Amino acid sequence: MADTVVKTPKLDELEKGKWPSFVKEIKMAAKTSPMAQDLLGQLELSYEQKLGHWKHGGIVGVMGYGGGVIGRYSDMPDKFPNVSHFHTIRINQPSGWFYTSKALRTLCDIWEKHGSGLTNMHGSTGDIIFLGTSTPHLEPIFSELTKAGFDLGGSGSDVRTPSCCVGPARCEWACYDTLAMAYDLTMSFQDELHRPAFPYKFKFKMSGCPNDCVASIARSDMSIIGTWRDSIQIDKDAVAEYASRGMDIKADVVDNCPAKCMEWDGKELHIENSYCRRCMHCINVMPKALRPGKDRGATVLIGAKAPIIEGALLASVLYPFVKIEAPYQQIKDVVAKIWDVWCEEGKNRERIGEFIQRVGLGNFLDAIEVEPVAEMVAHPRENPYVFYEEYFEEDETAEEQK
Amino acid sequence: MPEVMQERLTDIGPPHYDKFLPPIVKENYGKWRYHEVIKPGVMVHVSETGKKLFTVRAASPRLISIEKIRNYADLADKYCDGYLRFTSRHNVEFLLTKEENIDPLIKDLRVLGHPVGGIQNSISSIVHTQGWIHCHSAATDASGIVKSVMDELVGYFETMVLPGKLRIALACCLNMCGAVHCSDIAILGIHRRPPKIDHENLHKTCEIPSVSASCPTAAIRPATVGGKPSVEVIEERCMFCANCYTVCPSMKLNDPLNDGVSIWVGGKVSNARHEPMFSKLAIPFLPNNPPRWPEVTDAVKGLVELWAKNARKYERMGEWINRIGWPKFFQMAGIEFQKEHIDDFKHAGLTYKRSTHLTF
Ligand code: SF4
Ligand code: SF4
Ligand code: SF4
Ligand code: SF4
């Protein structure tokens, strides 16, 4: 197709430089895909005009599913007919983003037949993204994907594809099995994932420790972050080894402890564990000497989101500590209650975090039958306008005083 | 033989991860004892059993062709019995059991054009979004800025010379697909012009009550324009969030003259030391200047280097700024403080300075 190659002087600039170039990737795909060629043409125009040329998504999908495909259409179909349809397909990634070369090749073969040959590995939520196909290809892609053991991810007002950190598969700090939990929740909520029925999206993210490698505290409606209740495990010899190899344990470790609960006398490291905030700093710095405790579980937080609509939120504590073991019943039970309340009373496009802000955390806890605990707030209220729900009448007080 | 109706599979979920774990991972699942960074982009995890797993992490542009994925698969076959994974920041990781394969793999990755690094005190790949490649709301492109910024910063990806970790993220509009609002440096596409209303078509494409209801500042009200039912926008109330555009294509926010990029700093998601924090506004507006966005690239590079020079060991961008105070940050960064830096949305009052703890 060398004769139809479009001129892209602006994009060509982005082939230079040391960082891997997405333009080279599109050009690789354009060798065989007319779609990728027209994408180059349209993108070059966007670079000239400083303006995107995609229309608002339309409703497209595969039979029986309401999510997983994002409709996308060019606003210049006459000029770029091969991207007049350019839909995205979200494919549920395996937990921890592990693959075999064989599985990757299978995905590539399907996508070579039915789409632009361009992907994101991976999208922001965690899915495998197939970027650019047309409506008639959707059912064939779906059928080939499911035959190969893959299924679509979430989109729209549904459970979005859960994602997790690498966890016990390769990390010594994992306080629970993030891969197993992500897989279990994904399988348990298949219906909620494929058939949008919520006020808005609902994301689960699982991190094995407070380092939170999948940014769950910033990005998920329910964030499950591994932690421990007992004492940090100390290997004294390894501490001494770090010291002898030149680590300044006072400056690097002790002085950076946010709880100021560590002491180092040049020989022995002491941690007052009842004050430790489980921040991970000391463990991160001395992985050979310090490890999370043995009584492990997770802190469950709720309500993180980006700004749209009412402003960004970080997740806040729902359960300070939960043991995380299959079948995760305590979590599933509370999730069911949360969804009930939110589906009943949530407004259209209101994330759970915004819903909680609107009705108040106290009222929300009542509705989902969870007892308030001090760990849920940064500090108790400063304002004295308290809503008491009951008060005494004269005669009741008299009754009581009898 | 009559054709058997093929059963249509649905709701099967993702493949079980177990199918894709290398044998060494299966054998040592949950038994990892510690890890060490051997050199930039290379680490070893050591199990309680003494077994060692080597990881080589390489950069990726996130937008990759199937040809590249096949290249990755070939490398995985050549060096790691066919096993590999991806990270939450779009890097690709090769999982090796043979230490002697590390250097040949790195060499092959170099030939393929993929630098190795992004571990420990380095800048990892920029989490980013679709931009003009695939999204209707984009106020800027994503991949082009990321490529331009990382071409400048790749040296910090391939080394570990920074005081701590630095996480950059980019979103091309306020929808913020990706955790940009809690990044050391966030690059955010912004609109600055109220919606251009397509009065001809609005009543055909959108429900007027839901358009009015979509606006967080109640700037939209129903109106009849040119005899047609439509809406009007009270422009002084518009904060260019594009919520209305999300629900109604006839409320276009995209505008080449006014769209551009803002820069935010000091956020983090990890709980290490300081609690997680939001990023805060450093530079309200920089122009869209494709293909290389020199203004954005210079600004980001300047901020990285300012932090690298002044932060103490382990201090993330936000921890450093907390220590020195925001006025000092603006002064050192040479950024003029202006009205746009002062919050005026919901919890704005909580962001005012309420003490005399000031530096001069
Ligand atoms: S979140 Fe913790 S357990 Fe999970 S990969 Fe990161 S450091 Fe390891
Ligand atoms: S985990 Fe954090 S709070 Fe706990 S002892 Fe270590 S540094 Fe201190
Ligand atoms: S951040 Fe905005 S413009 Fe970018 S991909 Fe997401 S919705 Fe589209
Ligand atoms: S852009 Fe946002 S603030 Fe402006 S009119 Fe639309 S919804 Fe309202």
pLDDT at site A1? 43
Q: Is B21 in the pocket of ligand 3 (CB under 6 A)?
A: no
Q: How many other CB atoms sit within 10 Å of the CB of residue B14?
A: 23
Q: How many other CB atoms sit within 10 Å of the CB of residue A90?
A: 24
Nearest CA to ligand 4 atom 8: B215
Ligand nearest to the CA of B239: 4
Is the per-residue pLDDT at A132 higher than 80? yes
Read off the pLDDT of residues A244-258 as tens digits, 9 standing for 90 and up. Answer: 999 999 999 999 999
Residues with Cβ within 6 A of ligand 4?
Answer: B 194-195, 214-215, 217, 219-220, 233, 238-244, 253
Residues of B in contact with A107 (CB under 8 A): 69
Identity at B152, one-letter amino acid code: E
Spatial separation of the C-alpha atoms in residues A12 and A21, rounded to whole Å: 10
Spatial separation of the C-alpha atoms in residues B156 and B40, rounded to whole Å: 10
Range with the poorest average pLDDT among A138-152, A334-348, B6-20, B309-323: B6-20
Q: 3-class DSSP state for residue A34?
A: helix
pLDDT at site A3? 44
Chain A residue with CA closest to B257: the answer is A50
Residue among B226, B230, B167 at smallest CA distance from B197: B230
Pocket probe mutation, ligand 3, options B177, B245, B255, max atoms within 8 Å of Cβ: B177
Probe site for chain B from A11, A119, A121 (most B CB atoms < 10 A): A121
Q: Is A336 left (phi over 0), alpha (psi -120 to 50) or beta?
A: alpha
Is the per-residue pLDDT at A207 higher than 90? yes
Spatial separation of the C-alpha atoms in residues A138 and A253, rounded to whole Å: 54
Q: 3-class DSSP state for residue A364?
A: helix
| Minimal CA separation from A38 to chain B, in Å | 11
Q: Is A217 in the pocket of ligand 1 (CB under 6 A)?
A: no
Confidence of residue B1 (pLDDT cuts 50, 70, 90): very low
- Render the burial of B222-257: b for 16+ CB within 10 Å, e for the rest: eeeeeeeebbebeeeebbbbbbbbbbbbbbbbbbee
Spatial separation of the C-alpha atoms in residues A26 and A42, rounded to whole Å: 12
Read off the pLDDT of residues B21-37 as tens digits, 9 standing for 90 and up. Answer: 999 999 999 999 999 99
Confidence of residue B234 (pLDDT cuts 50, 70, 90): very high
CB contact under 8 A, B241 and A64: no
Percent of chain B topping pLDDT 70? 98
CB contact under 8 A, A53 and B21: no
Sheet containing B32-39: which strands, arranged edge to edge? A98-100, B83-86, B92-96, B52-58, B42-47, B32-39
Assess A59–B contact: CB distance below 8 Å, yes or no.
Answer: no
Which pair of structure tokens corresponds to residue B256?
Answer: 């080449």
Residues B307 and B166: beta-carbon distance below 8 Å: yes
Ligand nearest to the CA of A286: 2
Read off the pLDDT of residues B116-160 as tens digits, 9 standing for 90 and up. Answer: 999 999 999 999 999 999 999 999 999 999 999 999 999 999 999
SS3 track for B100-118: HHHHHHHHHHHHHCCCECC
Which pair of structure tokens corresponds to residue B19?
Answer: 């199918």
Is the per-residue pLDDT at B179 higher than 90? no
| Minimal CA separation from A197 to chain B, in Å | 16
Q: 3-class DSSP state for residue A8?
A: coil
Spatial separation of the C-alpha atoms in residues A272 and A258, rounded to whole Å: 12
Question: E strands within A243-295?
Answer: 262-264, 269-271, 290-291
Spatial separation of the C-alpha atoms in residues A281 and B271, rounded to whole Å: 8
| Minimal CA separation from B30 to chain A, in Å | 4
Q: 3-class DSSP state for residue A368?
A: helix
| Minimal CA separation from B56 to chain A, in Å | 13
Spatial separation of the C-alpha atoms in residues A275 and A317, rounded to whole Å: 18
Centre of ligand 3 from the C-alpha of residue A312, in Å: 15
- Render the burial of B149-180: b for 16+ CB within 10 Å, e for the rest: bbbbbbebbbbbebbbbbbbbbbbbbbbbbbb
Q: Which long-range contacts (CB under 8 A, 24 or more apart) does A334-342 make?
A: A334/A368, A334/A370, A335/A222, A337/A367, A337/A368, A337/A369, A338/A302, A338/A368, A339/A192, A339/A198, A339/A202, A341/A367, A341/A368, A342/A198, A342/A199
Read off the pLDDT of residues A157-177 as tens digits, 9 standing for 90 and up. Answer: 999 999 999 999 999 999 999
The CA–CA distances, whole Å, from A398 to A193, A257, A392 equal 57, 55, 10
Query: Average model confidence (pLDDT) for chain A?
Result: 96
ipTM: 0.96
Spatial separation of the C-alpha atoms in residues B330 and B322, rounded to whole Å: 12
Residues of B in contact with A215 (CB under 8 A): 88, 179, 182, 269
User: Strand B251-252 vs strand A204-207: parallel, antiparallel, or unpaired?
Assistant: unpaired
pLDDT at site A6? 82
Residues in chain A: 402
Residues B43 and A126: beta-carbon distance below 8 Å: no
Read off the pLDDT of residues B85-112 as tens digits, 9 standing for 90 and up. Answer: 999 999 999 999 999 999 999 999 999 9
Pocket probe mutation, ligand 1, options A97, A166, A177, A280, max atoms within 8 Å of Cβ: A166
Read off the pLDDT of residues B237-275 as tens digits, 9 standing for 90 and up. Answer: 999 999 999 999 999 999 999 999 999 999 999 999 999
Probe site for chain B from A100, A111, A214 (most B CB atoms < 10 A): A100
Chain B residue with CA closest to A195: the answer is B11
Which residue did the predictor score with more confidence, A225 or B346? A225
Residues with Cβ within 6 A of ligand 2?
Answer: A 257-259, 261-262, 271, 276-282
Residue among B168, B125, B341, B170 at smallest CA distance from B267: B168
The residue whose two tokens read 């005399």 is B356
Spatial separation of the C-alpha atoms in residues B276 and A299, rounded to whole Å: 15
pLDDT at site A398? 61
pLDDT at site B177? 85
